[in-house]
Amino acid sequence: MDLGLPHFDAELEELGLLAQTAGLEPVARITCKRRAPDAALFVGSGKADEIKALAEQTGATEILFDQSLSPAQQRNLERHLGLPVNDRTLLILEIFAQRARSHEGKLQVELARLQYLSTRLVRRWSHLERQTGGAGVRGGPGEKQIELDRRMIDESIKRTRERLVKVKRQRQTQRRQRERRDTFNVSLVGYTNAGKSTLFNALVKARAYAANQLFATLDTTTRQLYLADAGESGRSVSLSDTVGFIRDLPHGLIDAFQATLQEATDADLLLHVVDAANPHYPEQIEQVQRVLEEIGAANVPQVLVFNKVDMLDAGHTPAAPRDTFELEGVQVPRVFVSAQTSAGLPLLRAELVRAVTQDSAAKAVPAPENVPAHETPV
């Protein structure tokens, strides 16, 4: 069951898909309008009773909120409804925990979970601090316990970070080796479920896990892609498939997945894959742009790949298979493809060849000529 404002239909749909990805089955949804969330229950008590009745009627075993709940609201709701209550952030964390396969992925998820937990404790802690008398008496056992928990969590965060730094260092060594090989690095980015892995497989004839789920991919896979038409002897580029983005990606996750997301920051070119058959693709493009900014990849050149053209209705088929699309005031090349039927893939390859050739040309120019006269080369 989910809760949100009526005009956030798409967001509720996405919450449902997230729930399914986590192995839950949505049985009912309920929305409510409120000027401000209730401090104790998030919703009003009348609405809470309504949720309870609906849950009983549908046999729901868990309640999901699309919005973030404070620890107090979560506890109060669980008490009021007699069922476990979770929010979107927790759901995403749960999915990441289920999906993580590599050592690095597991460490990243663990770090995100610990960070989430630690913010909750901080809030609960300040909540207790404000009370004098009552349950959280100053210096009482509850307070000591929280301080103990805090210290343990801080310790775990520190340890997990250190382990991650080690793994990251290995990754960076690999990256440096790649740079030495003078490879052109292409990264697939895009909203979750846009078809990145399917496109990756179609381009490099690999078999990365693709599924109609959110966050099917958590770990980065990289393969060489040979472009016969690039230059006299052809050239190979390295193509990486990586984790998908989603609106309001929990902040701890961005931080924890920095190493994985770094793949995009270090790329020479981003193939920004868009699910063109999803009516909400403009919002999804915007969300992806926001994450790219956050990880410092906003200035990496992009090619927009409008995927799933095989699913477009007759009235919505593109006028031209290749054009440009305005992205934050910049005209970006756009190609329409279907990763599933391979339609448009030759055009996409041609786009890659163009980018690689341009890059080679730029690199072929002797360095001093690249420097404007008024600047001193260092």
Q: Which does 47 bind (CB under 5 to 8 A by kind): Mg ion, ligand GTP, none?
A: none
What tokens does 152 get?
């343990």
The 10 Å Cβ neighbour count of residue 4 is 19
Residue 197 touches Mg ion, criterion: CB under 5 A: yes
Please state the closest distance from residue 62 (CB atom) to ligand GTP, in A: 23
CB distance 322 to 335 below 8 Å: yes
Please state the closest distance from residue 211 (CB atom) to Mg ion, in A: 8
Count of residues in the chain: 378
Please state the closest distance from residue 9 (CB atom) to ligand GTP, in A: 21
Exactly one of 185, 217, 262, 302 binds ligand GTP (CB under 6 A); that residue is: 217
Residue 21 touches Mg ion, criterion: CB under 5 A: no
Exactly one of 60, 95, 114, 216 binds Mg ion (CB under 5 A); that residue is: 216
Residue 338 touches ligand GTP, criterion: CB under 6 A: yes
The number of C-alpha atoms within 13 Å of 331 and in the hemisphere containing its C-beta is 3
Q: Which does 185 bind (CB under 5 to 8 A by kind): Mg ion, ligand GTP, none?
A: none
Q: Which does 195 bind (CB under 5 to 8 A by kind): Mg ion, ligand GTP, none?
A: ligand GTP
From the number of C-beta atoms within 10 Å of its C-beta (0-12, 13-18, 19+), residue 104 rates as buried
Q: How far is CA 202 from CA 165, 169, 244, 264, 335, in A?
A: 33, 31, 18, 20, 15
CA-nearest of 57, 355, 99 to 229 is 355
Residue 213 touches Mg ion, criterion: CB under 5 A: no
CB distance 241 to 259 below 8 Å: no
What tokens does 272 get?
């920004």
* Segment interacting with ligand GTP, rule: CB under 6 A, options 9-17, 109-117, 118-126, 194-202: 194-202
Q: How far is CA 121 from CA 69, 118, 152, 319, in A?
A: 14, 5, 12, 54
Query: Which value, to the nearest 10 degrees, does the dihedral of the CA atoms of residues 279, 281, 286, 287 take?
Result: 100
Residue 257 touches ligand GTP, criterion: CB under 6 A: no
* Segment interacting with ligand GTP, rule: CB under 6 A, options 9-17, 114-122, 226-234, 337-345: 337-345
Exactly one of 76, 89, 108, 193 binds ligand GTP (CB under 6 A); that residue is: 193
Please state the closest distance from residue 350 (CB atom) to ligand GTP, in A: 18
Residues at the contact surface with ligand GTP, assessed by CB under 6 A = 190, 192-198, 210-217, 244, 307-308, 310-311, 338-340
Residues at the contact surface with Mg ion, assessed by CB under 5 A = 196-197, 216-217
